[in-house]
């Protein structure tokens, strides 16, 4: 995550996702990729409660779509590639847990989680690593 500088109000946060030890999140495993076909994201405040943020999907500075965080019924977006960014200005300075599921079909075969402390000022950079699960169908 990258958190912008400045004081007060909600902070801009940018998220990137990377399947561990794989060159591509979205390419099929037969081509050396993770084979992810769908992605879910939840953002929960420390102490509980969903942070329903709107994430803007971009690649190379060009907007390619949006993702609406909904913890009770997460949207299943198309695969989000390593070179994409997800940016929001919907998070106030506080602590959050971000959970990401990388689906192959209907199964969460790749899972990542990161704790994020959004500061009132300053910058924080973190990548969410997606780890392969050994569930049936993965």
pLDDT value at position 136? 92
Give the C-alpha separation, 130 to 112, whole Å. Answer: 4
Whether residue 33 contacts residue 25, with contact meaning beta carbons closer than 8 Å, is answered with yes
> Is residue 3 predicted with pLDDT exceeding 50?
no
Averaged pLDDT, 3-28: 79
Pick left, alpha or beta for residue 57 (phi over 0 → left; psi -120 to 50 → alpha; otherwise beta): beta
pLDDT tens string 103-127: 999 999 999 999 999 878 765 567 9
pLDDT tens string 28-45: 999 999 999 999 999 999
Pick left, alpha or beta for residue 90 (phi over 0 → left; psi -120 to 50 → alpha; otherwise beta): alpha
pLDDT value at position 122? 61
pLDDT value at position 125? 63
> Is residue 6 predicted with pLDDT exceeding 90?
no
Q: State pTM to two decimals.
A: 0.89
Distance of alpha carbon 132 from its chain centroid, rounded? Answer: 16
pLDDT tens string 46-99: 989 999 889 999 999 899 999 999 999 999 999 999 999 999 877 888 999 999
Say if strands 2-3 and 62-68 run parallel, antiparallel, or are unpaired. Answer: unpaired
pLDDT value at position 12? 78
Give the C-alpha separation, 12 to 134, whole Å. Answer: 35
């Amino acid at each position: 995550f990258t958190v912008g500088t400045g004081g007060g109000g909600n902070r801009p946060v940018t998220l990137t996702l990377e399947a561990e030890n794989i060159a591509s999140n979205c390419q099929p495993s037969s081509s050396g990729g993770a084979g992810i076909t769908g992605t879910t994201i939840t953002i929960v405040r420390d102490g509980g409660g969903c942070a329903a943020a709107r994430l803007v999907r971009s690649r190379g500075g060009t907007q390619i779509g949006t993702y609406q965080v909904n913890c009770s019924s997460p949207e299943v977006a198309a695969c989000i590639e390593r070179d994409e960014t997800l940016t929001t200005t919907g998070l106030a300075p506080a602590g959050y847990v971000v959970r990401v599921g990388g689906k192959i079909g209907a199964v969460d075969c790749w899972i990542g989680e990161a704790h994020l402390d959004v500061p009132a000022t300053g910058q924080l950079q973190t990548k969410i690593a997606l780890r392969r699960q050994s569930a049936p169908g993965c």
